Amino acid sequence: MSDIVEVPVSGNVKTNVLVNVRQGLPSTAAPLLRKLGAGTKVQVFALVVGDSIQGNAHWFRISDNTYIWAGGCSELLQSTATPQAEPIANSQGRHARLSQVPLVIDISHGDGVDSFQNAKNSGLVGVIHKATTGETGKDDAYTRRRDSAVAAGLLWGAYHWGTAASVQNQVKNFMDWAKPNETTLVALDFESTLDNQMTLDGAREFCEQIYTRLGRRPVIYSGDTLKSALGSVVDTFFSEHRLWLAQYGNNPRVQNSWDTFWLWQYTDGDSGPPSCRTVTGITGDSKKRLDCNYFEGDAATLASQWAS
């Protein structure tokens, strides 16, 4: 994940002047995606700190990976709509659980692993590891870590980072490298990718090809990217897939195609609600950050649903 520190917010702003939409970073040096005319209403997902302009270093994140300078906008108007979230009855139990070791983490070759056995002993139940990116990218730590994690008694999952490349080639790359068996959770990572974005139709095709090959639906990992792509519609195709929601806030909200999330990535080890952000035996990235995920049920329920 990035080094950007953000505060999750929910609401809208209006641009007061012509505003540049920057991609990748809240910085005047970041690529210019487009311009928004004065008076444009924009939905905001987070307040972040970036380049200072005229003494103001505040920026708004308006999608997974795009930013506008707050100095060119009105004050934030908090959303008055009822948020899509888990039932209120679950909130107290959920927040209490967030203080415990997460049942699931997701990692890649960039994260350090000292001992999967120690992680299992501390309460970890499942690991979802990056396997592939696009049609050629392969995570060289995947295979050896799969063997170690499974030997330690952990559930194992593999995710593919989708790109704009040929979906057929991406599926082949994933299947050949991840080698998912009947116990492997399979997930599609659908998130913002600069100049190489997987389309919504590409995500559909990827999911359908995985279903054809494995006879089960992949989990879909996404946050604002999927919300923006689907808008407010209820898409029954995507509803058939479990949602792995990426959202670093206290009140996780899902797109209209789902009633709730199956898994919630609540922190990257930096941003997110007060929670446990470390797991014994897993050192995380170079800054000791770790992606942690919340599952609503217990370990036995998670295991029963893992590769379904």
Whether 256 has a pLDDT exceeding 60, the answer reads: yes
Model confidence band, residue 251 (pLDDT cutoffs 50, 70, 90): confident
Looking at residue 80, what is its pLDDT? Answer: 45
Whether 71 has a pLDDT exceeding 50, the answer reads: yes
Tell me the C-alpha distance between 219 and 188, whole Å. Answer: 6
Residue ranges, comma separated, of all CATH 3.20.20.80 domains in the chain are: 90-305
Q: Which residue has the higher pLDDT, 84 or 228?
A: 228
With vertex at residue 239, the alpha carbon angle to CA 139 and CA 184, rounded to the nearest 5 degrees, is: 35
Model confidence band, residue 91 (pLDDT cutoffs 50, 70, 90): low
Whether 84 has a pLDDT exceeding 60, the answer reads: no
Residue ranges, comma separated, of all CATH 2.30.30.40 domains in the chain are: 6-78
* pLDDT tens for each residue of 40-63: 888 788 899 999 999 999 999 887
The pTM score is: 0.72
SS (H, E, C) the chain: CCCCCEEEEEEEEEECCCEEEEECCCCCCCCEEEEECCCCEEEEEEEEEEEEECCEEEEEECCCCEEEEHHHECCCEECCCCCCCCCHHHHHHHHHHCCCCCCEEEECCCCEECCHHHHHHHCCCEEEEEEEECCCEECCCHHHHHHHHHHCCCEEEEEEECCCCCHHHHHHHHHHHHCCCCCCEEEEECCCCCCCCCCHHHHHHHHHHHHHHHCCCCEEEECHHHHHHHCCCCCHHHHCCCEEEECCCCCCCCCCCCCCCCEEEEECCCCCCCCCCCECCEEECCCCCCEEEECCCCHHHHHHHCCC
Percent of the chain scoring above 70 in pLDDT: 92
CATH of 6-78, one of 3.10.450.710, 2.30.30.40, 3.40.50.300, 3.30.365.10: 2.30.30.40
Fold annotation for 90-305: TIM Barrel (3.20.20)
Whether 191 has a pLDDT exceeding 70, the answer reads: yes
Looking at residue 204, what is its pLDDT? Answer: 95
Q: Which residue has the higher pLDDT, 168 or 270?
A: 168
Q: Across all residues in the chain, what is the average pLDDT?
A: 90
Percent of the chain scoring above 90 in pLDDT: 68
Looking at residue 87, what is its pLDDT? Answer: 40
Looking at residue 86, what is its pLDDT? Answer: 42
Whether 95 has a pLDDT exceeding 80, the answer reads: no
Looking at residue 1, what is its pLDDT? Answer: 41
Give exposure, 182-212, as e/b (b: 16+ Cβ within 10 Å).
eebbbbbbbbbbeeebbebebbebbbebbee
* pLDDT tens for each residue of 207-223: 999 999 999 999 999 99
Looking at residue 183, what is its pLDDT? Answer: 98
